[in-house]
């Protein structure tokens, strides 16, 4: 893993898991979203964010706006950015009606806010996002490669093209978001992607990298036998 160029970000909203991941030197940042917060039972957004930022003041953390109204999103983005210098504000590429958030992104970028443009799945959206945040001090464009793969499409060519699109924008980095398996980390690294953000379940598999396959096969057989006994299965 030491030869990886890509930065690994932990994706989640469970504070205990975030603190565990903070102890891993491979983890260079964190991302959250409202769906993950709901899954983790977060009820107080500000309290959760303040606890996370107090514990992790030295790495980027992305927090997302909650509104579907662009003016309210602007107000929320300004508040979120004020929570800490390491905060990146997540803005979806469109609202829930499909209206582009480009104007809002331009406005926030001009105000010096670090942005994470999220929910991107097409190259046209990559272009719109990159141009919109070009004036920000540092921003990321988050392409949901895992969701692209869920449709039966290979995300690698699209992500490679996205890297080409971002070349004229040195302050904008590409995130390979929502990976489905550990292999995606190496695929993203191979094309030069800047960041990959993965859930704890995937990141915990890092210990398997390079594992001997004969040993892994034996452990699998042992698991089947053990679980059959524990379940009391008989023939």
**Mean pLDDT throughout 104-131?**
98
Please tell me the pTM assigned to this model: 0.94
Q: What's the rounded Cα separation, in Å, for the pair 105 and 146?
A: 24
Q: In angstroms, rounded to a whole number, what is the distance separating the alpha carbons of residues 66 and 75? A: 11
Question: How far is it, in rounded angstroms, from Cα 136 to Cα 129?
Answer: 12
Known catalytic membership, residue 7: no
Binned at pLDDT 50, 70 and 90, residue 3 comes out as: confident
Give dist(CA 145, CA 151) in Å, integer: 10
Angle at 163 between CA 196 and CA 144, to 5 degrees: 45
Task: Kindly name the residue from 90, 127, 167, 205 that is annotated as catalytic.
Answer: 90
For 66, the token pair is 């909650």
- Using one digit for the tens of pLDDT, what is the confidence trace for 154-184? 999 999 999 999 999 999 999 999 999 999 9
Which two three-digit tokens encode residue 188?
């993203």
All structural domains of the chain: 7-208 (3.20.20.70)
What is the pLDDT, as a whole number, of residue 16? 95
Instruction: Determine the pLDDT at residue 229.
Output: 97
Task: Write the pLDDT tens digit of every residue in 7-27.
Answer: 999 999 999 999 999 999 999
DSSP 69-122: SHHHHHHHHHHHHTT-TTEEEEEESB-TT--B-HHHHHHHHHTT--EEEEEE-S
pLDDT digits (tens, 9 = 90+) for 57-108: 999 999 999 999 999 999 999 999 999 999 999 999 999 999 999 999 999 9
Under a CB-based contact definition with an 8 Å cutoff, are residues 195 and 174 in contact? yes
Task: Provide the pLDDT for residue 1.
Answer: 62
- Residue 2, pLDDT > 80, answer no
């Amino acid at each position: 893993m030491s030869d990886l160029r890509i930065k690994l970000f932990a994706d989640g909203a469970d504070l205990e898991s975030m603190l565990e991941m903070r102890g891993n030197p491979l983890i260079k940042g964190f991302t959250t979203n409202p769906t993950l917060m709901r899954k983790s039972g977060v009820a107080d957004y500000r309290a959760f964010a303040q606890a996370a930022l107090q514990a992790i003041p030295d790495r980027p953390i992305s927090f997302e706006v909650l509104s579907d109204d662009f003016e309210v999103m602007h107000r929320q983005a300004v508040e979120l950015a004020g929570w800490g210098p390491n905060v990146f504000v997540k803005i979806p590429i469109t609202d829930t009606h499909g209206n582009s958030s480009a104007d809002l992104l331009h406005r926030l970028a001009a105000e010096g806010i670090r942005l994470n443009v999220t929910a991107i799945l097409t190259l046209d959206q990559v272009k719109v996002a990159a141009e919109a945040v070009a004036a920000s001090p540092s921003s990321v464009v988050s392409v949901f490669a895992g969701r692209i793969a869920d449709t039966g499409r290979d995300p690698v060519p699209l992500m490679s093209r996205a890297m080409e699109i971002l070349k004229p924008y040195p302050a904008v980095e590409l995130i390979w978001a929502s990976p489905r398996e550990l292999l995606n980390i190496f695929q993203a690294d191979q094309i030069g992607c800047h960041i990959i953000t993965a859930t704890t379940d995937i990141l915990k598999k890092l210990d398997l990298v390079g594992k001997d396959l004969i040993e892994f096969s034996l452990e699998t057989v042992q698991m089947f036998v053990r679980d059959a006994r524990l379940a009391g299965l008989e023939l």
